[in-house]
Amino acid sequence: MERWRERRAGLLLPVALLLPWAHSSLALKCGEKRNAKSEESIVTAIVGGQPANIADFPWQVGILTQGNHLCGGAILNEWWILTAAHCFQRINISNLEIIHGIDDLNTKDQKKEKVDKLIIHPLFNDWLMDNDIALVLLKAPLPLGVKRIPICLTEVTSLEKWSSCWVAGWGTTVLGSFAFPSGGLADSWWRLCPLRTRPQPPATLAMSSSTPKFTAVWMPSQA
């Protein structure tokens, strides 16, 4: 009964996204990196498009379909994963699995969790990429710990305060490369841009949009 209540309570998550997030399970703080050996918090960061360790982004998970990598996601709590809606067009939910606690997709004996429900934003637009967000409900709770820590959620009223962010996921670390993504977790540092503007040089990558439901970003040139 308690388990059912926990899962049902999670259906209110779209509303909860507007509020500060609290985690009662374990003595973990959201968004906090931890040293796997000492269990002490660490604040060091890796800058640039380069290989990363799961200890640097312990909320990162991979989403598989029929055993193949489909998309990345972030742990919200034991039951819920936050991800992108565009990943799940024409996807059979029964084929979805979540892998967690690893930084290499080629790792043997991967820990996988089955997906119980997929909730795509009702106003998702696959042409403009408006509301490109989705929630994944797991069939069994994740064992939170050093390599599985929930990500923090910012209050809606604080969104305008952010000017930069981290991007982490599985893929190539070479800009402009169309090679098939490697199995290793990678990260890079990005700047957020005002809507309908493009950054001036030096910049190596930019995205812009005329819709207010899309976040534009750019990566400072490494040259």
The predicted-structure confidence for 130-153, as pLDDT tens digits, reads as follows: 889 999 999 999 998 888 999 988
Q: In this structure, which topology does domain 59-138 adopt according to CATH?
A: Thrombin, subunit H (2.40.10)
Written as one string, the DSSP assignment of 134-151 is EEEEESS----BTTB-PP
In sequence order, what E strands does the chain have? Answer: 50-51, 60-65, 68-75, 80-83, 96-100, 112-120, 134-138, 164-170, 185-193, 203-206, 216-220
Sketch the domain layout of the chain as residue ranges: 59-138
pLDDT in tens, 31-61: 766 554 444 443 333 334 567 778 888 898 9
pLDDT given at position 206:
44
Q: Any idea how long the chain is?
A: 223
pTM to 2 decimal places: 0.68
Minimal CA–CA distance to 39: which of 24, 26, 25? 26
